[in-house]
């Protein structure tokens, strides 16, 4: 085969090996999609995530975990009981902390001290009306139990707990690992403006990638 013929044959072979136009467009589109998703994930980790500091949210969230925040969750709504939120404590260390909403504005609540190795029992009258309910909390940690109950007149822990009404516009927040958590039992309820967003998903480490979804249930009780 002459050189020009061989060159022509090679060119025809290359054309046959090329992907058809639709396939090239599909590959291009998928590549762009993967790049956009990677950039979105990077932005989410850097700007819309909270780093869990300390053991106060064990066993669900560990120190060093990264959790995705929805900063718009409460633009048209309000925090609900059981929501895990990022909050700025009104006293003590001012670093953002991850806590769980236990008491809503207007709720009456009382936390009885730990007994027989069990965590303190949280009781609530939703909206301050009707009967009392006990919170059943499947997410609680077990690294020891605090002996103080709640609350005094300011909403803090005390040796002589009595019912406390959460003021309008404020929320009572607690860590899941009550024995080591600095929360409303230490500084009282927090204003709505101190809650910066709702924690919706555990994103790092990837081995525990999962939604943050456990919630308490209310069981009628008498105190």
The 10 Å Cβ neighbour count of residue 63 is 12
Looking at the fold, whether 93 and 19 belong to one and the same domain comes out as: no
The pLDDT of residue 153: 93
Q: Cβ distance 87 to 99 under 8 Å? A: yes
The pLDDT of residue 204: 87
Distance in angstroms (rounded) separating the CA atoms of residues 107 and 132: 10
Nearest 10 degrees: Cα torsion 183, 56, 97, 68: -140
Distance in angstroms (rounded) separating the CA atoms of residues 10 and 164: 86
Looking at the fold, whether 84 and 10 belong to one and the same domain comes out as: no
The pLDDT of residue 170: 98
Q: Cβ distance 141 to 177 under 8 Å? A: yes
Looking at the fold, whether 25 and 58 belong to one and the same domain comes out as: no
Question: For 154-166, what is each residue's pLDDT tens digit?
Answer: 999 998 899 999 9
Tally of domains within the chain? 2
User: Taking the model in full, what pTM does it have?
Assistant: 0.79
Looking at the fold, whether 88 and 164 belong to one and the same domain comes out as: yes
Q: Which segments of the chain have a pLDDT < 50?
A: 7, 45-47
Per the structure, the complete domain to which residue 179 belongs is given by 51-221
Nearest 10 degrees: Cα torsion 133, 120, 173, 74: -40
The pLDDT of residue 20: 72
Looking at the fold, whether 135 and 198 belong to one and the same domain comes out as: yes
């Amino acid at each position: 085969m002459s050189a020009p013929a061989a060159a022509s044959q090679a060119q025809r072979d290359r054309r046959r090996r090329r992907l058809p136009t639709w396939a090239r467009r599909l590959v291009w589109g998928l590549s762009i999609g993967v790049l956009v998703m990677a950039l979105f994930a990077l932005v989410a980790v850097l700007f819309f995530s909270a780093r869990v500091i300390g053991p106060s949210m064990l066993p669900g969230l560990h120190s060093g975990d990264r959790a995705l925040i929805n900063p718009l969750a409460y633009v048209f709504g309000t925090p609900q009981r059981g929501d895990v939120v990022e909050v700025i404590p009104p006293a003590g260390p001012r670093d953002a902390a991850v806590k769980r909403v236990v008491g809503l504005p207007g709720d009456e609540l009382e936390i009885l001290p730990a007994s027989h190795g069990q965590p303190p029992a949280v009781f609530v009258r939703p909206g301050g009306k009707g009967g009392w309910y006990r919170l059943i909390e499947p997410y609680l940690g077990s690294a020891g139990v605090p002996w103080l109950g709640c609350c005094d007149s300011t909403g803090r822990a005390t040796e002589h707990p009595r019912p406390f009404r959460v003021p309008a516009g404020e929320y009572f927040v607690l860590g899941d690992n009550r024995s080591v958590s600095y929360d409303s039992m230490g500084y009282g309820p927090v204003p709505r403006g101190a809650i910066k967003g709702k924690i919706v998903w555990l994103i790092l480490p990837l081995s525990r990638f999962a939604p943050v979804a456990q919630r308490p249930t209310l069981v009628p009780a008498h105190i």
